[in-house]
Amino acid sequence: MIQATPASTAPAAQPSKRTILVVDDVEINRDMLELQLQDEYNILKAADGLEALGILKERYGDISLMLLDLVMPNLTGEELLSRMQGDKLLSSVPVVVMTSEDSSEKESRCLELGASDFIRKPFDPFILRHRVRGLIRLHEADSALAAIERESLTGLYNREAFIHYARAFRKKHAGKQLAAVIATIVDFEYLAERFGEETVAEHLRQTGKMFLEVDDVAIAGYLGEGRFITLNLLMDGMSLDWMKATMRELLASSPIPSARVKFGIYSPVPQDRELAQVYRAINLKMQAIKQSYSEDYVVFGVDEEEHLERRRQLAADMEASLKNGDFYVVFQPKHRAADGALCGAEALVRWNHPRLGAVSPGEFIPLFEENGFINQLDVFVHTRVYRMMKKWLQEGVPVVPVSANFSRRDLLDSSYIDYLVDIRREFPNDVPAHLLRAEVTESLLTQDLELFLENLGKLRSVDYKIELDDFGSGYSNLATLADLPIDTLKLDMGLVRTLNTKEPVVRHCIELAHDLGLCVVAEGVETQEQLDKLRALGCDKIQGYYFSRPLPADEFITYLKDHAARGMIA
């Protein structure tokens, strides 16, 4: 058996010379090929498939081309090809199959097994040389491209290449459902410090390898900093549980088994949506679980993404809208339960968005509470209410106390509260103190209780009456009620709606409030039946559509005047 010619003994092993592996069991054939090609190439030789496999495994990186005979002992050409096909690295070596007889069936089988081309014996030296040159050139152009497109450590696509191939992947699977995923290794920047650069590199390599192995159902990229990006075919059974299990499995064999990975999953990806937009949405969504110790997954779909997009728009437009006067204040009357006399109102903000039209406070208030804009908006509402009341008083309009809403943020912002207090001290007579009230939400009570209480105290020190809003929605603590510096309890609409089934609860709330010297307002009262029940239970005031919807300022003025004319102001 002839040993492979080591590169060192190959004639004129110039660095620029490419290396060709000749695999043939007939010695004379090997020598012939060597003779024909050695002026241009380094030649390695193997006498059967098994030997060739050994050489390939050691030197696949140096071998530019393999010339392969089919009929050989030990491992046939076809068997060798199929072994190579199962290996990402070996299959990167281009193969020209040498056939002796006319057997097109065999040839197409070889092409299927990954061979690049074939050539018939006996060779025309001229054709052989050209085919070899052409193939090597083609393959090298391919691998140069691959080097630019792939991140070196993981072997996965880099960002640009990923987006490019993801589009192609999508086209190839047109009509099928896809899921887009971003996976982020938690605290990646500290891993190197804790486990060492090499361990982290190995971790990345393994993760990359896992993604490469599933490349018929997914394509994957590496964005750097421990961030992976994939586009997957949405198969039956690929659920969140499946992903979690897969991840656990992967991490179990990883060099950093304790590493945590967070996932953002958009599923399914709408056919008409730009991929870049989809991944942007995932990134945004993942912000929410970034700091969380318990949540490692966000899964969402198009509905939520549209919701996100809308939130983005609202946030982008809010400041301009405030300047342009798109926000305005409406007033919802409050009536005395006993006789229906008008006894107050709540100021509620409205947004007439220039493009989207009326946007509900239920939508934008939580957004502004998150992004902090609620402070500015509440300053606007309070100032508006203050100015309008001052003007009405000057004009002789019969006014009633108006309450404005204080968001959680307002009450934790001491400088804002101090500002309100100062205004009240400076202009004691513009609007008498008893005419401006504050509604604060119960959900406040869960955090920063001390600061909250301190600021409430400040408001009360300048005679703000405090109404506790939304009582009975969610977290209600009757026990702490006694300790709160408040004047009024507002029963939540939800509680009013359950009057039929939970009358004893409502009764208990009202009794307790009265024992504590608090006034009780019921919100969201829509029917005569609700009104009658509340009245019977001793509820003091009623707010809701039964009496009136929130009214624009001019209609509210008319409402005030009408009630005054009928002697119906409390």
Contact set with Ca ion (CB under 5 A): 405, 439, 469-470, 523
Asked if 442 is part of the footprint of ligand C2E (rule: CB under 6 A), the reply reads no
Question: Which of the choices ligand C2E, Ca ion, none does residue 551 contact, using the CB cut-off of 5 to 8 A by kind?
Answer: none
Phi/psi for 75 (5° steps) reads -130, 120
Q: Which residues, at least 6 apart from 122, have a Cβ–Cβ distance to it below 8 Å? A: none
How far is residue 117's CA from residue 569's CA, in Å, rounded to a whole number? Answer: 97
Q: How far is the CB of 344 from Ca ion (least distance, A)?
A: 12
Contact 379, 416 (CB under 8 A): yes
Q: Which residues, at least 6 apart from 300, have a Cβ–Cβ distance to it below 8 Å? A: 265, 266, 267, 281, 285
The letter for the amino acid at 83 is R
Q: How far is the CB of 410 from Ca ion (least distance, A)?
A: 13
Q: How far is the CB of 403 from Ca ion (least distance, A)?
A: 7
Query: According to CB under 6 A, which one of 44, 374, 400, 481 is a site residue for ligand C2E?
Result: 374
Asked if 405 is part of the footprint of ligand C2E (rule: CB under 6 A), the reply reads yes
Question: Which of the choices ligand C2E, Ca ion, none does residue 348 contact, using the CB cut-off of 5 to 8 A by kind?
Answer: ligand C2E
Question: Which of the choices ligand C2E, Ca ion, none does residue 365 contact, using the CB cut-off of 5 to 8 A by kind?
Answer: ligand C2E
- Any long-range contacts for 315-324 (C-beta under 8 Å, 24+ apart)? 315/367, 315/371, 315/373, 317/353, 317/354, 318/364, 318/368, 318/373, 318/377, 319/373, 319/376, 321/351, 321/353, 321/354, 322/376, 322/377, 322/380, 324/354
For ligand C2E, the closer CB: 104 or 528: 528
The letter for the amino acid at 156 is L
For Ca ion, the closer CB: 378 or 439: 439
Using the rule CB under 6 A, give the single segment among 151-159, 393-401, 423-431, 519-527 that binds ligand C2E. Answer: 519-527
For ligand C2E, the closer CB: 317 or 469: 469
Q: How far is the CB of 317 from ligand C2E (least distance, A)?
A: 18
For ligand C2E, the closer CB: 34 or 378: 378
Question: Which of the choices ligand C2E, Ca ion, none does residue 362 contact, using the CB cut-off of 5 to 8 A by kind?
Answer: ligand C2E
Q: How far is the CB of 407 from ligand C2E (least distance, A)?
A: 4
Contact 180, 234 (CB under 8 A): no
Angle between helices 125-149 and 27-37 (to 10 degrees): 70
Q: Smallest Cα–Cα separation from 91: which of 75, 111, 114? A: 114
Q: How far is the CB of 348 from Ca ion (least distance, A)?
A: 7
**Tokens matching residue 494:** 């939800």
Asked if 545 is part of the footprint of ligand C2E (rule: CB under 6 A), the reply reads yes
Which helix (H) or strand (E) segment holds residue 355: the answer is none
Asked if 528 is part of the footprint of ligand C2E (rule: CB under 6 A), the reply reads no
Q: Which of residues 406-425 bind ligand C2E (CB under 6 A)?
A: 407
Contact 81, 56 (CB under 8 A): no
Q: How far is the CB of 358 from ligand C2E (least distance, A)?
A: 10
Using the rule CB under 6 A, give the single segment among 32-40, 48-56, 148-156, 544-552 that binds ligand C2E. Answer: 544-552
DSSP H helical ranges for 234-301: 240-252, 275-290
Q: How far is the CB of 565 from ligand C2E (least distance, A)?
A: 25
Q: Which residues pair with 118 in a beta bridge?
A: 97
How far is residue 224's CA from residue 462's CA, in Å, rounded to a whole number? Answer: 57
Query: According to CB under 6 A, which one of 362, 396, 504, 517 is a site residue for ligand C2E?
Result: 362
Angstrom distances, CA of residue 70 to CA of 73, 121, 285: 10, 12, 55
E strands in 9-148: 18-23, 41-46, 63-69, 95-99, 117-120
Q: How far is the CB of 286 from ligand C2E (least distance, A)?
A: 28
Q: How far is the CB of 439 from ligand C2E (least distance, A)?
A: 6
Q: How far is the CB of 253 from ligand C2E (least distance, A)?
A: 51
Asked if 77 is part of the footprint of ligand C2E (rule: CB under 6 A), the reply reads no
Q: How far is the CB of 361 from ligand C2E (least distance, A)?
A: 4
End-to-end CA distance of the chain: 114
Using the rule CB under 6 A, give the single segment among 17-25, 159-167, 243-251, 541-549 that binds ligand C2E. Answer: 541-549
Judging by beta carbons within 10 Å of its beta carbon (0-12, 13-18, 19+), is residue 568 exposed, middle or buried? middle
Q: Which residues, at least 6 apart from 307, have a Cβ–Cβ distance to it below 8 Å? A: none
Q: Smallest Cα–Cα separation from 531: which of 333, 335, 331? A: 335
**Tokens matching residue 444:** 């406040």
Using the rule CB under 6 A, give the single segment among 32-40, 227-235, 354-362, 460-468 that binds ligand C2E. Answer: 354-362
Using the rule CB under 6 A, give the single segment among 263-271, 374-382, 390-398, 531-539 that binds ligand C2E. Answer: 374-382
**Tokens matching residue 418:** 């101090």
> What string marks each residue from 307 to 336 as x (binds ligand C2E by CB under 6 A) or -?
-------------------------x----
Phi/psi for 197 (5° steps) reads -55, -45
Q: How far is the CB of 530 from Ca ion (least distance, A)?
A: 15
> What string marks each residue from 132 to 161 as x (binds ligand C2E by CB under 6 A) or -?
------------------------------
Question: Which of the choices Ca ion, ligand C2E, none does residue 29 contact, using the CB cut-off of 5 to 8 A by kind?
Answer: none
Q: Which of residues 452-511 bind ligand C2E (CB under 6 A)?
A: 469-470
Q: Smallest Cα–Cα separation from 448: which of 495, 405, 411, 415? A: 411
For ligand C2E, the closer CB: 181 or 365: 365
Asked if 221 is part of the footprint of ligand C2E (rule: CB under 6 A), the reply reads no
Under the rule (CB under 6 A), what is the footprint of ligand C2E? 332, 348-349, 360-362, 365, 374, 378, 381, 405, 407, 439, 469-470, 523-526, 543-545, 550
